[in-house]
């Protein structure tokens, strides 16, 4: 069974399992993955080891069933209303785990998706700050980066949208809920489990080497002596992924 699953699983399946694992041991909190692959991974987590996770329908209701991604009019079992104000009650009390994207990220997890270049005259305008500063100091945060490259993993971000561990350490009580968990990419899984809370290579996806990840990173990663392979989803998880993502959005995002 394991060998069959290993042969069948794609890189995108491995990424989805890694994104699901971001929510392990979270308990009954709001899981808020943003983007197609994070949403697929979050719903995989709820369908397997995390049935107590609370998830939205993508709008203003909390749902108990695991909805397929990208299907208009999919059945939903509504458990509660989640208006905008109530989202902030959850957000500001540390009872949420968000997975966001990043256009740039540095060794301490400072994240940028606002603009690229000189603040006085940016080369590219991106999403803006959005809610990233308030999100990252108030609850658990992970990141999904589908294109691991030195342009994204940079020595210094052009502007801080999401707060990294070095800055959070100066906030005192205001940063009590700040917690960066994982960074999942198309090449690897990274974490911040180091003495100074800088980024560490946690695992490499099947077919990727440690040298591949180092070459794609624009700063010096902490690399343990032995780096395992990222886990491959088992046969049950692979079946669930095909139900959760019936239009194969994950493999369109990570086509390797």
Kindly state the percentage of the chain with pLDDT values over 70: 97
pLDDT, tens digit, 9 for 90 and up, residues 138-153: 999 999 999 999 999 9
Q: Which domains does the chain possess?
A: 2-249 (3.40.1080.10)
Nearest to 145 by CA among 188, 196, 82, 87: 188
Q: How far is CA 157 from the centre of its chain?
A: 18
pLDDT, tens digit, 9 for 90 and up, residues 161-204: 999 999 999 998 888 889 999 999 999 999 999 999 999 999 99
**What does the angle CA 162 – CA 167 – CA 169 come to, to the nearest 5 degrees?**
125
CA distance 72 to 2: 34
Q: In 224-240, which positions are buried (b, 16+ CB within 10 angstroms) versus exposed (e)? A: eeebeebbbbbeebbeb
Exposed, middle or buried by CB within 10 Å (0-12, 13-18, 19+), for 48?
middle
pLDDT, tens digit, 9 for 90 and up, residues 94-146: 889 999 999 999 999 999 999 999 988 999 999 888 889 988 999 999 999 99
């Amino acid at each position: 069974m394991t060998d069959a699953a290993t042969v069948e699983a794609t890189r995108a399946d491995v990424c989805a399992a890694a994104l699901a694992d971001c929510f392990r041991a979270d308990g009954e909190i709001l899981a808020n993955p943003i983007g197609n692959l994070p949403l697929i991974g979050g719903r995989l987590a709820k369908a397997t080891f995390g049935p107590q996770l609370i998830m939205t329908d993508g709008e203003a209701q909390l749902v108990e069933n695991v909805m397929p991604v990208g299907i208009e009019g999919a059945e939903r079992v509504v458990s509660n209303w989640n208006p905008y104000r109530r989202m902030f009650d959850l957000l500001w009390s540390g009872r949420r785990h968000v997975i966001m994207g990043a256009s740039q990220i540095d060794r301490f997890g400072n994240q940028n998706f606002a603009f690229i270049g000189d603040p006085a005259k940016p080369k590219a305008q991106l999403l803006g700050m959005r809610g990233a500063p308030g999100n990252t100091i108030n609850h658990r945060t992970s990141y999904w980066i589908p294109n691991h490259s030195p342009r994204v993993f940079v020595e210094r971000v052009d502007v801080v949208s999401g707060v990294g561990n070095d800055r959070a350490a100066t906030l005192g009580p205001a940063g009590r809920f700040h917690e960066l968990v994982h960074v999942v990419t198309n090449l690897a899984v990274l974490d911040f489990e180091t003495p100074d809370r800088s980024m560490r290579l946690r695992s490499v996806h099947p077919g990727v080497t440690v040298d591949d990840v180092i070459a794609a990173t624009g700063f010096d990663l902490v690399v343990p002596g032995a780096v395992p392979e990222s886990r491959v989803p088992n046969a049950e998880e692979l079946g669930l992924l095909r139900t959760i993502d019936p239009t194969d959005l994950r493999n369109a995002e990570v086509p390797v």
